[in-house]
């Protein structure tokens, strides 16, 4: 890995992040985690109260990275063809009828799936192929999605009326689940100052699709030492109640822990964080920072866990502490 190439990639990343922050107030932790997910080549699920800036943040990122953007508002009556596109009979030059594929809104670099848990399971499943294989199949014909391709989905933690829980297979497709917090008093003032005005701030692009793909490739080459990989493996194993490293809270409240995709996601996110921090190798700190967004949607609580109201974040903190205390940090 050439040092000049590495430094240029890091500068581009930080410049793009700063461009977004010049428009979006606060939410630095959520912004970092979205960028980690994207440059690790994965998808992200954003959860937060209405009006905290989830949609605007994603739209601003698309402008800073100069990527095509598409927004799909998920509703109970949304059909799979409304997402993927459909075949239509149209006359050709000679007047003969033939099927022509009309692309749906999923054919964009960044697809914002707004309130994804409001659509029926059948419609949600239409995204599975796109998220997993980055292709769309309609009437036996397969179409390649543009590269890079990201699904950034949002859902509200409240207002459960008319919502459908995402199936486990689809939840596991998301590299990260990102909690978007409520702004502080100072941030609320800044939001008003920036938005309740006739002056419009344009976000200048700092990267394009080719740059994003190049940085993804560079991040994939960040080094992971054997002891770091071992720590990551132990973090995953400690989310399983039957494992010797599992803390008491996991043994009591977790029905199923993270699968192999959780370990892959942990390493991929940690690599991008190392790149943004200016390091050629992954550290224990990278893994600890990546653990919450990567694992919070991959722990399934048992009845006792649901009844006590314990959070996945609290369990993950216990897992990190247990693995570290065991002398594996």
- 247 with 198: CB under 8 angstroms? no
Average pLDDT of span 136-163:
79
User: For residue 155, what pLDDT is reported?
Assistant: 83
Q: Which residue has the higher pLDDT, 191 or 13?
A: 13
Domain-embedded: residue 84 = yes
Domain-embedded: residue 202 = no
For 92-138, the pLDDT digits (tens) are 777 777 777 788 888 999 999 888 888 887 887 778 888 888 888 87
* Alpha-carbon 145 to chain mean position: 18
Domain-embedded: residue 273 = yes
Q: Give the whole-number percent of the chain exceeding pLDDT 90.
A: 21
Q: What is the mean pLDDT of the chain?
A: 84
- Shared-domain flag, residues 21 and 120: yes
The Cα-based distances of 125 to 116, 120, 261 in angstroms read 11, 9, 19
* Domain harbouring 96, CATH code: 3.40.50.300
- The model carries a pTM of 0.86
Residues 6+ apart with CB under 8 A from 152: 34, 43, 44, 46, 58, 110, 111, 112, 113
* 288: number of Cβ within 10 Å: 19
* Domain harbouring 317, CATH code: 1.10.8.80
- Shared-domain flag, residues 141 and 159: yes
Average pLDDT of span 274-299:
91
- 112 with 119: CB under 8 angstroms? no
For 247-286, the pLDDT digits (tens) are 888 888 888 888 888 999 999 999 999 998 888 899 999 9
- Shared-domain flag, residues 143 and 162: yes
User: For residue 328, what pLDDT is reported?
Assistant: 46
Domain-embedded: residue 107 = yes
E strand or H helix that includes residue 70? strand 69-73
- Shared-domain flag, residues 30 and 58: yes
In the chain the first and final C-alpha atoms are separated, in Å, by 27
- Shared-domain flag, residues 172 and 279: no
Residues 6+ apart with CB under 8 A from 228: 281, 282, 283, 284, 287
Range of the domain at 293: 222-328
- Supply φ then ψ for residue 78, to 5 degrees: -70, 135
- Shared-domain flag, residues 111 and 181: yes
Q: How many domains does the chain have?
A: 2
For 22-77, the pLDDT digits (tens) are 777 667 788 889 999 999 988 999 988 777 778 888 888 888 888 899 999 888 88
Q: Taking phi first (over 0 means left), then psi (-120 to 50 degrees means alpha), and beta for anything else, what does residue 250 get?
A: alpha
Q: Give the whole-number percent of the chain exceeding pLDDT 70.
A: 91
Could you tell me the two tokens for 3?
């040092």
């Amino acid at each position: 890995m050439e040092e000049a190439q590495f430094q240029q990639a890091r500068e581009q990343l930080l410049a793009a992040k700063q461009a977004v922050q010049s428009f979006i107030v606060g939410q630095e932790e959520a912004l970092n985690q979205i960028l980690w997910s994207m440059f690790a080549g994965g998808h992200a699920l954003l959860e937060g109260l209405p009006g905290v800036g989830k949609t605007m943040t994603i739209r601003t990122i698309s402008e800073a990275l100069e990527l095509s953007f598409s927004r799909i508002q998920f509703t109970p009556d949304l059909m799979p063809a409304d997402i993927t596109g459909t075949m239509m009979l149209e006359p050709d030059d000679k007047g003969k009828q033939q099927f022509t594929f009309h692309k749906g809104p999923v054919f964009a670099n960044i697809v914002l799936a707004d309130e994804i848990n409001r659509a029926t399971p059948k419609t949600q499943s239409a995204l599975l192929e796109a998220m997993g294989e980055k292709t769309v199949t309609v009437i036996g014909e397969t179409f390649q999605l543009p590269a890079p391709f990201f699904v950034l989905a949002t859902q509200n933690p409240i207002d459960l009326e008319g919502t459908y829980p995402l199936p486990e297979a689809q939840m596991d497709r998301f590299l990260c689940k990102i909690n978007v917090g409520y702004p502080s008093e100072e941030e609320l003032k800044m939001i008003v100052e920036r938005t309740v005005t006739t002056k419009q701030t344009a976000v200048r692009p700092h990267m394009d699709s080719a740059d994003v793909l190049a940085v993804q490739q560079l991040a994939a080459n960040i080094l992971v030492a054997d002891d770091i990989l071992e720590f990551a493996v132990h973090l995953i194993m400690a989310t399983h109640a039957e494992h010797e490293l599992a803390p008491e809270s996991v043994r009591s409240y977790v029905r199923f822990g993270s699968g192999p995709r959780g370990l892959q996601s942990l390493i991929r996110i940690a690599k991008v964080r190392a790149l943004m921090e200016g390091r050629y190798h992954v550290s224990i700190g990278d893994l600890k920072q990546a653990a919450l967004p990567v694992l919070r949607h991959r722990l399934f609580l048992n009845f006792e866990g649901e009844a006590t109201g314990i959070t996945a974040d609290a369990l993950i903190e216990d897992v990190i502490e247990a693995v570290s205390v065991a002398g594996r940090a």
